Amino acid sequence: MKIYLAGPINGRIFSEILKDWEDKADRFKKMGYEVLHPLIDKADGLNPNEVACGEGHNTPVTNNHAIYTRDQWMVRTADIVYADLFDCQRVSIGTMFELAWSSLLGKHIVVCLPKDSLHYHAFVLESANIIWSTREESEKYLETLIKGIS
């Protein structure tokens, strides 16, 4: 079963973001998921010491069009979309698009969203199938889900 991991990227250092995404992907792989996420195979096109921004990269896999269409394709191919919106410092426009695509495509959408989150908004609340307020709860649910399906 494929899971797409969505969440904020902008405003953080790429090397830190990449480590976080790889750690999260490893946890979900151990659960039994095939994992997709926005930073797969992009490390070579990004400066590890640079702060991530939402546009302007110029390699074949990191230009605006490549990011938009590849992330959309990954959402389309996933069975589950997990949006981790815990501890966000700014609104994640990319994650909002990923939730919209997921909703339109009828994906099972699991969201980690504390009530004090700046993403606590009707569109996020209504697009999610299940909302958890902590990572621990959401990841436990996803682990139980794949064990029940396997």
Structure-derived torsion over alpha carbons of residues 43, 44, 45, 47, reported in degrees to the nearest 10:
70
Domain count, the chain: 1
> Among the listed ranges 42-56, 74-88, 128-142, which one has the minimum average pLDDT value?
42-56
- Given pLDDT bands bounded at 50, 70 and 90, which one contains residue 46? low
Q: Residue 122: which CATH number? A: 3.40.50.450
Average pLDDT (3-27) is 88
pTM value is 0.91
Query: For residue 82, what are the domain limits?
Result: 2-149
Beta pairing, strands 80-84 & 2-6 = parallel
Alpha-helix residue ranges (DSSP H) falling in 39-134: 64-77, 93-104, 122-127
Using DSSP, state whether 4 is helix, strand or coil.
Answer: strand
Number of H-type helices and E-type strands within the chain: 5, 5
